[in-house]
Amino acid sequence: MTPPATGPGAPDPLESDPMLRVLRERHPEVDIVVLPQPAPVRRAPEVDRSGRDALAEDLERDLDDLLERLGSDGPPHSVQRDHRWQTDEWHQTWYEAVAVVDDLADGANVALLRATGKALVDLGWRARPVPGDRPRLVARRRDGSEAVATVRPTSLVVTFRTAKVRAVEEVAR
């Protein structure tokens, strides 16, 4: 079969690939379809020090709002918090805030996970359960923030993450 015509001046993608060119020559009866390449990964926005601080403060406020809603649903629990900036191999950074609600009675962890999902939806997140052997849920917001909640035998772990950003290199004067 004859390959489809390409536009005027457009190179034949099969001619530029040696393996596909030989395949076409040896097996003219085979239709070869070259799919478009995936779009390049969107580059993370660059933010300065104050922008990173604002991202962290917003995420901490979101976690505070969630914990406040969960605290109003039942008796107070022990809550341990941690936070840190993470960096991957492409020098993209994101802020991560973790809250562990401890000392829960048997079965209270799953009930608190359900309340967490409802609270996240009420706060404007898109939350959904994750299939598997351990009850957990994931949530996202339009700004790229993510939340993950999972249960342990007597606790609930909630992790919030900002969207990935690149730190602007500040020039010393």
Nearest 5°: the CA angle 94, 96, 99 is 170
Cα gap 72→70, rounded to integer Å = 5
Q: What residues pair up with 165 in beta bridges, in sequence order?
A: 93
Q: Output the furthest CA–CA distance in the chain (Å, rounded).
A: 74
**How far apart are alpha carbons 81 and 84 in whole angstroms?**
11
- Our separate counts of H helices and E strands in the chain read 4, 8
Beta bridge partners of 146: 140, 161
pLDDT tens sequence across 78-111: 899 999 999 998 889 999 999 999 988 888 999 9
- Residue 12 corresponds to which tokens in the numbers above? 């034949």
From residue 83, how far is each of 5, 17, 61, 73, 74 by CA, in Å? 57, 49, 12, 25, 25
| Residues 154-163: b if buried by 16+ CB within 10 A, e if exposed | ebbbbbbbbb
102-107 long-range contacts (CB < 8 A, ≥24 apart) are 102/77, 102/78, 102/154, 102/155, 103/77, 103/78, 103/154, 103/155, 104/77, 104/154, 104/155, 104/156, 105/154, 106/154
pLDDT in tens, 109-167: 999 999 999 999 999 999 999 998 889 999 999 999 999 999 999 999 999 999 999 98
Domain borders along the chain are: 1-37, 46-167
pLDDT of residue 173: 47
pLDDT of 172? 44
- Token code pair at residue 41: 């990964």
Question: Whole-model pTM?
Answer: 0.72
For the record, the structure tokens of 65 come out as 């709002």
CATH 3.90.1200.10 fits 46-167, yes or no: no
